[in-house]
């Protein structure tokens, strides 16, 4: 095959395990590809024979980007569940969550806050209906300033 494009091989295979062959008796396409960015060899199995091998590799790469996007959403945005099941409802909820995240990032930068975005989002969710300047809310939720150590407090260990 064309190793300049990263394509190593494009094969037609059949599963030969007892249960695998029983459950999927048709042929599959096995494409081996070396990722030009990472240098890692990748193997794709598909039942799509009409598309060129490089197109299938590009589709899987795009699919991986979608997976990474949703992983980022789960880690950074505060979406516990979707309130609607239609495409429009899901898109609207994701766009609202991304907008809130970006607005908080802009506020963090403009106010030069040291707290992480995650911490700021938690503070905002707790103080949503309070009329309190954001600087004051961040300072009042700071665990270091919350419980100052008294000078007369005894120390368990002296170093």
Give the tens place of pLDDT for each residue, 38-64. 889 999 999 999 999 999 999 988 888
Question: Average pLDDT, stretch 89-94?
Answer: 91
Contact 108, 120 (CB under 8 A): yes
What is the rounded distance in angstroms from the CA atom of residue 80 to the CA atom of residue 67?
18
- Secondary structure, 3-state, 105-159: HHHHHHHCCCCCHHHHHHHHHHCCCCCCCHHHHHHHCCHHHHCCCCCCCCCCCCC
Percent over 90 (pLDDT), the chain = 39
Whole-model pTM: value is: 0.52
Q: What pLDDT sits at residue 146?
A: 47
Q: What pLDDT sits at residue 10?
A: 94
Q: What pLDDT sits at residue 145?
A: 46
Residue spans per domain, the chain: 7-69, 87-143
How many helices, marked H, and strands, marked E, lie in the chain? 6, 3
Rounded to the nearest integer, the mean pLDDT of the chain is 84
Contact 139, 127 (CB under 8 A): no
């Amino acid at each position: 095959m064309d190793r300049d494009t990263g394509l190593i091989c494009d094969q037609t295979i059949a599963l030969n395990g007892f249960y695998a062959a029983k459950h999927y008796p048709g042929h599959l396409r096995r494409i081996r590809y070396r990722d030009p960015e990472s240098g890692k060899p990748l193997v794709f199995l598909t039942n799509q024979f009409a598309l060129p091998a490089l197109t299938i590799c590009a589709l899987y790469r795009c699919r991986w980007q979608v997976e990474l996007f949703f992983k980022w959403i789960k880690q950074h945005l505060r979406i516990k569940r979707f309130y609607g099941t239609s495409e429009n409802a899901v898109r609207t909820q994701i766009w609202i969550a991304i907008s809130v995240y970006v607005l908080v990032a802009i506020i963090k930068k403009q106010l030069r806050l040291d707290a992480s975005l995650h911490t700021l989002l938690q503070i905002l969710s707790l103080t949503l209906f309070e009329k309190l300047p954001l600087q004051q809310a961040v300072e009042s939720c700071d665990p270091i300033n919350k419980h100052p150590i008294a000078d007369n407090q005894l120390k368990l260990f002296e170093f």
